[in-house]
Amino acid sequence: MEEFKTVRELYESYNYGDYLVLDLIDEIELEGWIKTNRDNGSIGFIEFNDGTYFKNLQLVYDKSLSNYEEVSHLLTGCSIDVKGKFVLTENGKQPFEVQVKSIEIEGNVDPSYPLQKKRHSFEYLRDLAYLRPRTNTFNAVFRLRSVLSMAIHEFFQDQGFVYVHTPILTGISCEGDNMFHCVTNDKDPNSYFGKTTLLSGSGQIHVEAFAMAFRDVYTFGPTFRSEKSNTKTHASEFWMIEPEIAFADLEDDMQLIEDCLIYCIKYCFENAPEEMNFFDKFIDSTLKSRLNHVINTPFRRMEYTEAIEILQNAVKEGHHFENKNIYWGLDLQSEHERYITEEFVKGPVFLINYPKEIKSFYMRENDDGKTVAACDLLVPGIGELVGGSQREERYEVLKQKMIDAKMKMEDYQWYLDLRRYGGCKHAGFGIGFERLLMYLSGMENIRDVEPFPRTYGKIDY
């Protein structure tokens, strides 16, 4: 009978009802790590994980094991090769276990190993980023990160989008001055490329060029911002999801955002059920109900102007905001956004048509001359999750906006030329991948959803 090689295969076969097949296997061989090990002098129990599945597998060994004494003293983290017999234990805490026939030690663990059988704080584990994937929380986080990445690609690929790898090194910026400059050893910023070179803060401008050839495109990759901020939501390096759709307006853009978010939530529930259950139980007890509410609630549209009036009325009625100076033209803070989505709408809402002064130059100016065709998706529990807009497709209008912003026109001429070389109306949006992952997991700090976080003042590993 064919041997099973992974814990995932055991659980999946069990869940599919292959009890008899499993029970007929004479010997299973597994390779992985000890999570916990305890013995009572005659029988021992190992919580075992091989990295293929979130749940552990129980190994049971006794004194018939030739190296029982050695095995009984193995520490958490030790890597082992196990051979044993699959046994159903449906009346126990777990549905099955493996009765060990032999254990070979692959890699022992020094007593200085800093992860013990207890809960460690997230702050403590940030200083052990190379070990924290071995803990339950971060094992769930980074497995969900992988699943969510696949959800993004499957969503867009299934709809015929073309995946574009936009450059990381760039000579332009569409996200302001908070950019990293690249220099060579001689520290002359112009010595290598002959001009100032930056680490990209967004792939949007470059992916727009591909939308004019492939119609529906997306980029999904690393981006960099140099804000000197240490908040829970700021990182110097993070990933961005940025689709761009041709022959599309703001309404088309919002529908794509809604479809994408709902798809990602459903995908994670389906493909990472154990991890989602863990987050709901140990990280955020409202997580699953909150996400299901988003799935099952129509996404409302609300004018920015209406949102300002709602917030002003809330202040008059005694609601406490840290910033209670609410006026038309205010760049809304998280507390304002959360009030709108959590207290007033009680569900997801698109705020649309923002004042042009607080939005980027590339957003299409509306006919009123005061606002732009922009949208921010606000969701309960976090506030702004997605930002998007219809892009300014009119050559002269965009040119004047860039001049008013005192941009270096010669660097952006090619971007302008997209408007006169067969341009069309088009739209797009950006989702910070880590922020989306935080929303889907309930984790509160961006440092805890990045494998090796890079933040202001700290770049370990």
What are the tens digits of pLDDT across the range 227-251?
999 989 899 999 999 999 999 999 9
Q: Show Cβ contacts of residue 76 under 8 Å, excluding neighbours closer than 6 positions.
A: 34, 35, 36, 37, 109, 113, 115, 116, 117
Q: Is 48 in a helix, a strand, or coil?
A: strand
The span from the CA of 442 to the CA of 287, in Å, is: 6
Is residue 160 a contact partner of residue 216, using CB atoms and an 8 Å limit?
Answer: yes
Domain 7-107 identical in fold to domain 125-448: no
Residues 258, 60: Cα–Cα separation, whole Å: 48
Tokens linked to 442: 């309930």
CATH number for the domain running over 125-448:
3.30.930.10
Cβ within 8 Å of residue 45, ≥6 positions away:
37, 38, 39, 58, 59, 60
DSSP structural state of residue 122: H
Domain layout of the chain by residue ranges: 7-107, 125-448
Task: Write down the pLDDT at residue 176.
Answer: 72
The continuous run of DSSP H or E covering 32 comes out as strand 28-39
Beta strand spans in 40-179 (E): 43-49, 57-62, 79-88, 96-107, 162-163, 169-170
Burial class of residue 176, CB neighbours in 10 A (0-12, 13-18, 19+): exposed
Q: Which H helix or E strand runs over 388?
A: strand 383-390
Give the C-alpha separation, 242 to 262, whole Å: 17
Mean pLDDT, residues 82-96 taken together:
88
Q: Which amino acid is at 246?
A: A
pLDDT, averaged across the chain: 94
What are the backbone angles phi and psi of residue 19, rounded to the nearest 5°?
-60, -45
Cα–Cα distance measured from residue 116 to residue 75, given in angstroms and rounded to the nearest whole number: 9
How far is residue 59's CA from residue 176's CA, in Å, rounded to a whole number? 56
pLDDT surpasses 70 at 171: yes
Query: What would the pLDDT profile of 46-72 be if each residue is shown by its tens digit?
Result: 999 999 999 999 999 999 999 999 999
Q: Write out pLDDT tens, residues 318-352.
A: 999 999 999 999 999 999 999 999 999 999 999 99
Within its chain, how far is the Cα of 266 from the centroid? Answer: 15
Residue 281 DSSP class: I
Confidence of residue 382 (pLDDT cuts 50, 70, 90): confident
243 within 8 A of 432, measured Cβ to Cβ: no
Cβ neighbours around 290 below 10 Å, total: 18
Pick the CATH number of 7-107 from 3.40.50.720, 1.10.10.10, 2.40.50.140, 3.20.20.140: 2.40.50.140
Name, in order, each residue with C-beta under 8 angstroms of 287's C-beta and a sequence gap of 6 or more.
276, 279, 280, 441, 442
d(CA 333, CA 322) in angstroms, rounded, equals 9
Rounded to an integer, what distance in angstroms lies between the CA atom of residue 321 and that of residue 318? 9
Of the chain, the percentage scoring pLDDT greater than 90 comes to 84
Sheet of 237-246: strands edge to edge? 162-163, 216-224, 237-246, 426-432, 383-390, 371-379, 349-355, 300-303
- Looking at per-residue pLDDT, the higher value among 3 and 366 belongs to 366
The structure's pTM equals 0.94
Q: What pLDDT was estimated at residue 41?
A: 86
- pLDDT on residue 381: 84
CA distance linking residue 263 with residue 260, whole number of Å: 5
Structure tokens at 447: 């440092």
Residue 1: pLDDT over 60: no
Whole-angstrom Cα distance, residue 422 to residue 271? 42
What is the pLDDT averaged over residues 75-102?
A: 92
Element of type H or E holding 354: strand 349-355
